[in-house]
Structures are given as C-alpha cells and as structure tokens.
Structure 1
Amino acid sequence: MNQVSEKENFLRGVKAAMPIAVGYIPIAITFGLLAKSLGIPIYVSFLMSLLIYAGASQFIGINLIVLGASWWEIVVTTFILNLRHFLMTATLSQKLEKQASRKWRMLLSFGITDETFSVSSFQSQEPLARYFSLGLNTIAFVSWNIGTWLGLFCASGLPDTVKSSMGIALYVMFIGLLIPQVKKSKSALVVSLLAIIINSLSNWLGISNGWGIIIATVFSAAIGAQLFAREESN
C-alpha cells in the first residue's frame, strides 16, 4: 500500500513538472547555443547544467568566463545570486513529511529552483510528500539538461552569423524576466536602476566586470531594502 502511495506521489510530481519542462527546454537550448557560440568547451557547458543547474547563474557564468573574470569572482557572483535558495530550502524543509531523512532532504534540495519551489509551495496537500518532490525535481532537471544538449548539438550546424547573434540572448533573457517585475513593482524598478548606475560607475572606475556585478548586486539590494522598508513602516 505504501509502495502504491509513493508511486502515485511520484507521478503527481511528474505531472506537475510538465509545464516547467516546457518552459525550461527552450531556455536551456538558448544556453547551449550561447555557450557554443562563445567558444565555451562542450564538456564545461554540460557540467554546468549537470552540476550547477542554475539558469541565471549559468548564463552569467559563461559571460564572466568570456570577459576573463577570475574563478573566485565567478564563484562569489554565483553565490550571491543563489542566496535565495537558503530561504527556499528552509521553507520547504518545514513542509516535507517526517519520513524524509537528511539524505532525502539533501537530494531534494539540489533540485529546487524558483519554479519547482513555486509549485511545491502551492501544493494543498500537507505534509509535502518526498516522492512528489522527487518526481517534480527529476523532470525539471532532466528537461534542463536535455535542452542544453539540444542547444550544443544544434549549434554545430548553424551558420556563424547565427551563432554570433546568440550573444544577445543573455540580455534578452534578463530583460524578459525584468520587465514584468518592473511593471508590477516600483521597488523592482528602483533596484534595477540602482544596479545599472552602480555597475556603470564600477566600470568607469576600472573595476573588473565580475566585481562590478557583485558590488552592484549587493549595494542595490541593500539600498532598496532600506528605502522600501521605510515605506512599509510608514
């Protein structure tokens, strides 16, 4: 009986992950195409999707590699970008069923993304079944890696002009993510403008691109938190 329940929960997770997979594959294909067009070795791109598994961080990572940033600048930038995962994993750990051991929690934490977290958070069933999370995370992870391989494979047959044009994909992706948030939130607009100004000032001062991104991220977020915290308190 328990085995049937675990199977059903896993299949529920697989079904819930299908919309995520549909969204992940095109973005992952873009990542593979962009990485190939920028001259990133195929094995590096593959390992980034397999081991790092963080879309925004992967796009920024290959951009920083091309710009000649040092490894520790890339690590620090990635760490700052993914600080939110501490909050997401801590939140979901409180919802997981008690049968989820420490090893289970470690396994499931690797598969948490913004999208899988959102789906898990809105599940009405309490507690959150570990096999549901496993099915959800597995399909999302597999779809991202399949998309990466498709991008890397398709890139070899594309004309050089098309490959070189993929360099704008990074900026298009972030603009596409940013505009809806800016429309809905004044704070997102202010923080975005602050980040642009601070990063531009860093470049003008001769600070490296990697550190420029780190400084812009930290200071714009800190200033934004202070400004809008005061607004809310008033």
Structure 2
Amino acid sequence: MASSIHSTSPVSPPPTFRAGLRAGIPVAIGYIPIAIAFGLLAQSFHLPNAITLSMSFLIFAGASQFITVQLLMTGSMYWEIILTTFILNFRHFLMSAALSQRIESTSRRLLAAIAFGVTDETFSIASTRQEARSGMFVLGLNTIAFLAWNVGTWMGVFLAFGLPSTLQASMGIALYAMFIGLLVPSLTTRPIFVVASLAIVIQAILHWIITPFFPISDGIRIIVSTVVAAGFGAFLFKEEEVT
C-alpha cells in the first residue's frame, strides 16, 4: 500500500489591513463617546468648528486636545500650549520606536503613517499581537481608531447645537473625568501613586501659594508640575519597579 503523506502545514496568510480594522473595533467604540465629549467641550467654549475638527484630524491626541482647548480659553501663550502638548505626547516617541522594531516593513511612508496614528490603546494591542508584525495590520488598527475619533468629534460639534447651554458648559468636567479614568486604574502601583501625588502637591503649591505673589499661567504650572514629578519618579524608582 503506497500513500504519500505530506506533513507540511499550510502557511498562514500574512495579517491584512482588514484584520487590523477588525482588531481595532473595541478601541473605536471606546473612542467615540470621549470624542463626542471633546466636541461638546470645544463648543461650550465657542471654539470655531474648523479649529475643533482640524485638531482631531491633524493632531489626533485626545488628552492634548482637551488640554489645548482649556489652555486656549484661559489665554495661555502659544508656546506654553506647544510645550505642554510636547511633554504630554513625548511618550509617543517611545511607543513608535518600540513598534518600529516589531513591524516587518522597510517602507518609510508606511512607518510614518503608522507613527502618526499610534495611541496608548492601539499601542497596547499592537505590542501584544503577533499580527502586529505586519505593517498593514497596524495601519488598519490605527485607521479605525482615527476614523472613530473624528466621527465622534463631528457628532459632538453638531450635537451641541441642540443642547441647552448649561449642559454644554458642564462638559468642561469631561476633561477631569477622562484624566481620572486614566489615572485611577494605575494607582495600584506605588511609583505611579507617588508621582501622581507629587504632581498634585506641586500644582497646589504653585496655584495657592506661589501664583498670588508671582503670577504663573496655567500652562507653566502644568509644565513645571509634570516635569518635576516625572523627574523625581525617574530618579527614585528603578525601571524594574515600574514595569
């Protein structure tokens, strides 16, 4: 009895752009309500629609967009807004560098497009999925998150026209709710708890003690408290304690 048995298993096809879109659906669902809140917040401050929509399309950085709207409305200097945004988004350099080591692609255009769309949530998915070695998979993952954020912003901007002015004004608390939601789950680790507490103390000292005698803008206070608290944390805690 002669039979030819081939034990070789079929090669699985490389992950596709569509597979990345599917993997990013949970992130997209989570982005829409936050983006709506951003659009409503911008409307409550009477920020022009073109600026609000352009921020989501060209900047695509949720926390920085909330902070920027707040700083614009308090009359902060442009360089303060730019520096604050740079500090808040500095982690994206590290996330993009880490992904570039995993993605099997030599196309600079593709890597640049991926770097633009990296967020905390898409990075967490891309860094734990084998499919993320495909640049097209990560591009699809980032694309659906980008589209959801912009759709949510449009919804927030145009929903605001039918809402009472008091409800629109109350959306200012969305900024603090978002940061609290991001911070609280991480407070179980000692380094993050210490750094966050130190940042709060520094901000309080600058606001209640220093500013009445030496006026300091909101942007400068954010920059000082962030840099000092982060620097203290980097000096005090070793890398293995944080991870």
Question: TM (normalized to structure 2)?
Answer: 0.88
In the alignment, structure 1 residue 193 sits paired with structure 2 residue 197:
yes
| Equivalent in the alignment of 1:209 | 218
Describe the shift of the 1:226–1:164 C-alpha distance in structure 2 as closer, same or farther (beyond 3 A).
same
After TM superposition, the structure 1 stretch with the greater mean CA deviation from structure 2, 202-211 or 137-146, is: 202-211
After TM superposition, the structure 1 stretch with the greater mean CA deviation from structure 2, 101-110 or 195-204, is: 195-204
| Equivalent in the alignment of 1:112 | 118
Distance 1:231 1:122 in 2: 19
Distance 2:229 2:67 in 1: 18
Give the C-alpha shift of residue 97 in structure 1. 1.1
| Equivalent in the alignment of 1:158 | 163
Residue 232 of structure 2 aligns to a residue in which SS?
Answer: helix
Residue 39 of structure 1 aligns to a residue in which SS?
Answer: coil
Residue 69 of structure 1 aligns to a residue in which SS?
Answer: coil
Distance 2:225 2:59 in 1: 23
| Equivalent in the alignment of 1:49 | 56
Give identity over the alignment, percent.
52
Distance 2:16 2:238 in 1: 40
Give the C-alpha shift of residue 230 in structure 1. 9.6
Give the C-alpha shift of residue 124 in structure 1. 2.0
Distance 1:230 1:97 in 2: 28
Once the two structures are superposed, residues 8-58 of structure 1 have per-residue CA deviations (whole angstroms, 9 ceiling, x without a partner) of: 611110110100000000000000011101111111110110000000000
Give the C-alpha shift of residue 194 in structure 1. 0.8
State the AA in 1 paired with 2:123.
F
In the alignment, structure 1 residue 136 sits paired with structure 2 residue 145:
no
Give the C-alpha shift of residue 60 in structure 1. 0.6
| Equivalent in the alignment of 2:174 | 169
State the AA in 2 paired with 1:205.
I
Give the C-alpha shift of residue 202 in structure 1. 2.0
Distance 1:230 1:217 in 2: 19
| Equivalent in the alignment of 1:219 | 228
Give the C-alpha shift of residue 156 in structure 1. 0.7
State the AA in 2 paired with 1:196.
I
Size of the aligned set, in residue pairs, is 224
In the alignment, structure 1 residue 17 sits paired with structure 2 residue 21:
no
Distance 1:79 1:212 in 2: 15
Which structure features the higher share of helix residues?
A: 1
Aligned 1:7-156 pairs, distance under 5 A:
9-98=16-105, 100-125=106-131, 128-156=133-161
Distance 1:175 1:84 in 2: 19
After TM superposition, the structure 1 stretch with the greater mean CA deviation from structure 2, 102-111 or 20-29, is: 102-111
Where structure 1 has 5 or more consecutive residues not aligned to the other structure, the ranges are none
Distance 1:148 1:91 in 2: 29
Distance 1:114 1:56 in 2: 11
Where structure 2 has 5 or more consecutive residues not aligned to the other structure, the ranges are 1-12
Distance 2:144 2:31 in 1: 10
Distance 1:164 1:104 in 2: 41
Distance 1:230 1:43 in 2: 43
Structure number with bigger Rg = 2
